[in-house]
Amino acid sequence: MIQLSRLCAGYFGRPAIREVTMEFLPGKVTVLLGPNGSGKSTLLKAALGLLPVMSGEVLYDGADIRQMKPRQIARKAALLAQSRNIPSIQSLRMVLHGRFPYLTYPKRYGGKDYAIAHSAMEATGSRQHENTNVSQLSGGQRQGVYLAMALAQDTQTVFMDEPTTYLDIRRQFQTMEIARSLAGEGKAVVLVLHDICLALREADRIAVFQEGRLLCLDQPEAVRKSGILEEVFQVGVYPVQTPHGTQYYCVPGQNQFPESGFCNGLRKT
């Protein structure tokens, strides 16, 4: 399990996240919500050792990340990044990069690596593109290949930074189904999303950030009822009961009647 304790991290000596304490629980989908620039992507990078810790701690099963080698980290946590270069490489070869942390000398992929890569591409609906150059794929198709690469890494924690970007509605549902499936396997799944309604519907826990600080971490309905989403995003968030369960919608302006003022046992600020 990955735990953050009073974590501060940022760029050029300036913190972008401040005093963040939280943990990513196995078997749970945790969604990070917050306005642009609130520190969500920075938190993922710091949790993966891609940004140095300014203060506080990042612990992997109790071990300080600063004492771990990159290969050790890569065997425990994978990242589907928000923005990536578009390499000129066959899709299957791209997905096989997820197996790199497990290779030993002479660093050649074996049958197990190919089997895991093919399985990951099947799961993301990208197997049909395995012989296609990544640069020739659409944005949504590339997203499937990159997600397959993260799955092929076969880690206990999977971070996804805006995984539904570029995706049509069907593929958005598929991506969330994959996230739920991974959690069902006992993995900790952490997603950065901008879709409040999608987060409320699919997450086990929601963490709300603003200006680099964690304001709230709780179950989706508790977060909604606290009124913190209205305060941070300046929108009203409302539930509606449907034959498919509770759905949500947002409207401009704050809900003037939040159902409570508490989130995770703390009064919202």
Model confidence pLDDT, tens digit, residues 6-52:
999 999 889 999 999 999 999 999 999 999 999 999 999 999 999 99
Tokens of 151: 């799955």
Q: How far apart are alpha carbons 8 and 13 in whole angstroms?
A: 11
How many Cβ atoms from other residues are within 10 Å of residue 11's Cβ?
10
The residue-averaged pLDDT of 94-101 equals 95
Q: How far apart are alpha carbons 21 and 39 in whole angstroms?
A: 13
Backbone torsion region of residue 143, taken as left when φ is above 0, otherwise alpha when ψ lies between -120 and 50, otherwise beta: alpha
Q: Pick from 54, 65, 64: which is nearest to 18 by CA?
A: 54
Q: How far apart are alpha carbons 213 and 210 in whole angstroms?
A: 5
pLDDT-based confidence at residue 269 (cuts at 50, 70, 90):
very low
The residue-averaged pLDDT of 234-250 equals 90
Percent of the chain with pLDDT over 90: 80
| Cis before 106? omega within 30 | yes
- Whose tokens are 């659409």? That residue is 138
Angle between helices 169-184 and 139-152 (to 10 degrees): 10
State pLDDT tens for residues 188-231.
Answer: 999 999 999 999 999 999 999 999 999 999 999 999 999 999 99
pLDDT(239) > 50: yes
- Predicted local confidence at residue 254, as pLDDT: 62
> Chain-wide mean pLDDT for the chain?
91
Percent of the chain with pLDDT over 70: 94
pLDDT(268) > 80: no
The torsion of the CA quartet 41, 200, 172, 33, rounded to 10 degrees, works out to -10
Q: How far apart are alpha carbons 211 and 38 in whole angstroms?
A: 5
- 160 or 256: which leads in pLDDT: 160
Task: Quickly list H helices, the chain.
Answer: 40-47, 70-74, 91-96, 111-123, 139-152, 169-184, 196-202, 220-226, 228-233
3-state helix, strand, coil in the chain (%, to 5): 35, 30, 35
pLDDT-based confidence at residue 255 (cuts at 50, 70, 90):
low
State pLDDT tens for residues 138-179.
Answer: 988 999 999 999 999 999 999 999 998 778 898 899 999 999
Terminal-to-terminal C-alpha distance of the chain: 29
- Predicted local confidence at residue 267, as pLDDT: 42
pLDDT-based confidence at residue 260 (cuts at 50, 70, 90):
low
